[in-house]
Every structure is written in structure tokens, then in C-alpha cells.
Amino acid sequence: MDEQQSLACQGSAKARWQVVGCSRRAVLGWGLMAAAVGRPAWAQSPAPVLPLADTHSHMGLFGPTKSATFSPDRFMAEGHVKLVAWKWVPDYELIRRGANGELLPPPVPPDPDRMWATTEAGWRAMIDSATQAGVALVLGKDDVAAARAGRTSVVLASEGCDFVDPALERIETAYRMGVRHLQLVHYTPNPLGDVQARPAQHGGLTPLGRELIARCNRLGILADLAHLTPEAAIEAADLSTRPVIWSHSALRVGRLLASRHERLLPLEAARAIVRRGGVVGLWGFDQTAGYRLSGYVRLILEAVEHLGEDHVVFGTDMSGLRNWTVLRHYGDLGKAVEELVSAGLSEAVLRKIAFDNYARVLTASLA
């Protein structure tokens, strides 16, 4: 099916069920089975009973939640979320899409100095917002344990390192500021590696990209491979001496999207991340979820089937997907947890997906 045909059928019910990788009859059957199973005895409370973690969030920074008076503690409390990788976007001024959602070339040449200035200012504003709200900043492994115990916490992070300098001195500065989770690339070509949705320029990671992985390992920063091409992601996972993360997307596994198809993660690359002990985050993009919350639950169960229960996490892309998401706020993530409970997922597995898997790889990167 070409893109024009895919766009034509996007609104149909059949296409929506195909997007989540299964038939409508199969999902309805799964839902009926879940209803018959009911909630297990360990989770009879109507409220979420588990601490939740999100490996990719722009809450309060962009999209519909952007606000000068945003308070991260109240927003996270809607879904009992205790740990969030809170990401600035260095290249946000350069991202443009056409009428059909296609990614356009940057309107001006990328300026790493300007992106560094805006990123540094953004991080400082995020730190101030967290401090005023009484939200802790994760700096070491004890802070991860405190989040598991119930302390509302954020991990200062970046979606892309487009601001890098040749000596990587800005990475050292970012670490001193409190950054502990770095994604190498986003949508703008940079000197670290090839980007999904852009023509390949480097044939994978560059020498500077390889040095950045080594620097993250040495400093204690979690390396995030999201938006890298599959070839670059596999190379980065193989190179890292610590677990890595693909913070947000969905597995490709045969599905076809009308837009952002290139953002899906092939199983080969996902399994390279798994071999390194890492995790893959599932986002709430409406096409991949079949435009409903139950479709997001299906994405989680599908990823567990392909990758194993130790390698799947929530990576919502909160506020980054604008209105094209089934997860508009963290209350929706709490509802997804309720549906996973109703589907009969065991407490042990759900605790891993909801919090412990991200906590494990983050702690391993900080050690």
C-alpha cells in the first residue's frame, strides 16, 4: 500500500485495527476475555496502586500543556506518576511539517550555539519549576530508589544533542547541571549519527557519536537511541558498556502508518537494545494505538511478547504529540494501567513495565 492509499483508508475502522497489528475481531475477543477474567485480587482499588515512570515527556514545555504556571507535581499526580524523563527539545524551532505531515528541511541552517543557549535556558527553567513544586531531581541511584518509594521525581533530559561541540565539553556541562538522560538525535541532522526520516549522511554513527556514547557511559548518563536509524541504533547499542534505551515509539512488526511510519522501531534494532540489557518505550501516537486507549494496551502486550517483560516501559511522548495521541494527560496512563490489570497481567510483570524496568537501566547508567 502506498502513502496515498494509506491516507485514503486511514479513517476507516478496518485501517484503524490494522494499525495496531491485529484484526478488529481479535481485539474484541481479547477485550471480552479480559472482562471475563476481571481484576486480580491484588489490585481491587479503583485508583492506580503502582508508582509509574515515563521515559519520554515534554509536560508543560510544548503542545497543549504548555503553561507559564505549569506545576509538574500536580500533572504527574493525575496518574500516580513518580518518575519522568523530562525532555527539552534543542531543535524545536527548526521542525516543520508539510500539509500531509511530511517532515520538511530545516528553514535555516542548524546553529549549535543557538540551540545550546536555548537548551541551557530551558533546563534552568525546568529545574526552577521542579524546585518550586517540591519535585526532586534525579542525580544518583539513591534518587531513583527514593522515587520508587514514592518521592515525585524528574530526570533532566534532552531530545537530541544538536548543540554538541567537537570536544563534547557541553556534555560535561550538561552533566554538571544535572542532566542524566540524553537522546543523541531528533529530527535535525547533526554530527552524531543518521536520523530517521532524513536521508542518511554518515552511514550510522560518526566518530563523534561513538565518543558521545563512551562519554555518557563514563559520566553516568543514560544514552537514548530514539530517532536514530536502525543501523546507527544497533551500532550504538553494541558499542555501549551500559544498558541503553529507545525512549518512545512502537515496534514496526508489519504495521503501516499514514504518517511517521519511519519512526517505528524494527525488531532487529529493538533486540540489539535488549541484548545490551536496555528497554523500549511505547508512545501514545493515535495511529499506532488504533485511536483508542485499548490499542495502547495492545502495544504494550505486543512488545512484551516480542521483547520480554524486562525490556518494555511507558514512553508516552506526553505533550510532544500535540493532540495526535490517546494519552492526553497522566490520568490516561493510569487508565491504561487499569486496563492492563483487567487483562490479567500479573503484578510482578506490571511493576516491571510501570516503573522497575526504567529504574533498572537508569540506575545502571548512574552507577
Reading the chain (367 residues) residue by residue, the pLDDT tens digits are 333 333 333 333 333 333 344 433 343 334 434 443 455 544 444 444 799 999 999 999 999 999 989 999 999 999 999 999 999 999 999 999 888 878 899 999 999 999 999 999 999 999 999 999 999 999 999 999 999 999 999 999 999 999 999 999 999 999 999 999 999 999 999 999 999 989 999 999 999 999 999 999 999 999 999 999 999 999 999 999 999 999 999 999 988 787 788 999 999 999 999 999 999 999 999 999 999 999 999 999 999 999 999 999 999 999 999 999 999 999 999 999 999 999 999 999 999 999 999 999 999 999 7
β-strand partners of 205: 193
Rounded Cα distance, 335 and 331, in Å: 6
pLDDT at 130 (0 to 100): 98
Of 285, 313, 302, 146, nearest to 224 by C-alpha is 313
Residues 204-228, buried b or exposed e (16+ Cβ, 10 A)?
bbbebbbbbbebbbebbbbbbbbbb
DSSP state of 251: B
pLDDT at 55 (0 to 100): 99
pLDDT at 38 (0 to 100): 52
Q: Does any domain span residue 211? A: yes
Angle (CA) 178-163-143 rounded to 5° is: 15
Residues 89-115, buried b or exposed e (16+ Cβ, 10 A)?
bbbbbbeeeeeeeebeebeeebebeeb
Is residue 327 a contact partner of residue 67, using CB atoms and an 8 Å limit? no
Q: Does any domain span residue 329? A: yes
Each as own residue / partner, the long-range contacts of residues 344-352 (CB below 8 Å, 24 or more positions apart, any chain) are: 344/34, 344/37, 344/40, 345/301, 346/40, 347/40, 347/42, 347/43, 349/304, 349/309, 350/50, 351/50, 352/309, 352/310, 352/312
Q: Which residues contact 89 (CB under 8 A, 6 or more apart)?
A: 58, 61, 62, 95, 158, 159, 160, 186, 320
Is residue 209 a contact partner of residue 224, using CB atoms and an 8 Å limit? no
Rounded Cα distance, 116 and 17, in Å: 42
Q: Does any domain span residue 18? A: no
Is residue 226 a contact partner of residue 183, using CB atoms and an 8 Å limit? yes
What is the total count of domains within the chain?
1
Q: Does any domain span residue 41? A: no
Q: Give the Cβ contact number of residue 73 at 10 Å.
A: 15
Q: Does any domain span residue 115? A: yes
Q: Does any domain span residue 60? A: yes
Q: Does any domain span residue 7? A: no
User: What burial class does residue 231 get, using C-beta atoms within 10 Å of its C-beta: 0-12 exposed, 13-18 middle, 19+ buried?
Assistant: middle
Give the HSE-up count for residue 86: Cα atoms under 13 Å, Cβ half-sphere.
32
Q: List % helix, strand, coil for the chain (3-state, nearest 5).
A: 45, 15, 40
Instruction: With both helix axes pointing from N to C terminus, report the angle between 207-219 and 230-239 in degrees, rounded to the nearest 10.
Output: 40
pLDDT at 102 (0 to 100): 83
Beta strands in the chain (DSSP E): 52-57, 81-88, 136-137, 153-159, 179-183, 222-224, 245-249, 279-282, 312-314
Structural domain span for residue 249: 47-366
Assign residue 315 the CATH number of its domain.
3.20.20.140
Of 115, 128, 227, nearest to 177 by C-alpha is 128
Is residue 251 a contact partner of residue 270, using CB atoms and an 8 Å limit? yes
Q: Does any domain span residue 8? A: no
Rounded Cα distance, 28 and 153, in Å: 37
Cell numbers found for residue 198: 532524513
